[in-house]
């Protein structure tokens, strides 16, 4: 796992840390060393979970095939369960921890 220069991980939640390690394992299956491009830094939508340390952006441009992003997102989600969402955006993959209380 690597971090883009300037990524601020001070204050990320323990749940997100676990999620990042799982995501890194899945990226490795596709032959890529995962790069985290944003955590508590950068600008995000007003209500974004990035600001509470529960959102991460992962680089997708270094994947070997474009279709890998969807496969990786699906596998991460499968491993982490219902409290995580993984969304493939045009420039990156967004992952967030949001507990669903039922
Ligand atoms: Zn994001």
Q: Are strands 55-59 and 92-97 parallel, antiparallel or unpaired?
A: antiparallel
Residue 55 CA to ligand 1 centre (angstroms): 6
pLDDT digits (tens, 9 = 90+) for 58-88: 999 999 999 999 999 999 999 999 999 999 9
Q: Note down the domain range covering 45.
A: 2-97
Among residues 97, 99, 93, the alpha carbon closest in space to that of 35 is found at 93
Residue 84 CA to ligand 1 centre (angstroms): 13
pLDDT band at 89 (very low <50, low <70, confident <90, very high): very high
CATH code (residue 9): 3.30.1380.10
% of residues, the chain, pLDDT over 90? 95
Residue 95 CA to ligand 1 centre (angstroms): 7
Provide the number of structural domains found in the chain: 1
Q: Look at residue 102 and tell me if it is in a domain.
A: no
Is pLDDT above 90 for 101? no
pLDDT digits (tens, 9 = 90+) for 13-61: 999 999 999 999 999 999 999 999 999 999 999 999 999 999 999 999 9
Q: What is the pTM of this model?
A: 0.94
């Amino acid at each position: 796992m690597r971090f883009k220069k300037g990524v601020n991980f001070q204050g990320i939640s323990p749940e997100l840390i676990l999620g990042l390690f799982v995501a890194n394992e899945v990226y490795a299956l596709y032959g890529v060393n995962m790069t985290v491009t944003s955590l508590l830094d950068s600008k995000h939508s007003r209500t974004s979970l990035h600001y509470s340390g529960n959102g991460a952006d992962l680089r997708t441009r270094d994947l070997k095939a474009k279709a890998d992003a969807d496969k990786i997102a699906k596998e991460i989600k499968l491993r982490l369960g219902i409290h995580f969402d993984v969304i493939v955006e045009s420039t990156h993959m967004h992952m967030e921890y949001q507990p669903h209380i039922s």
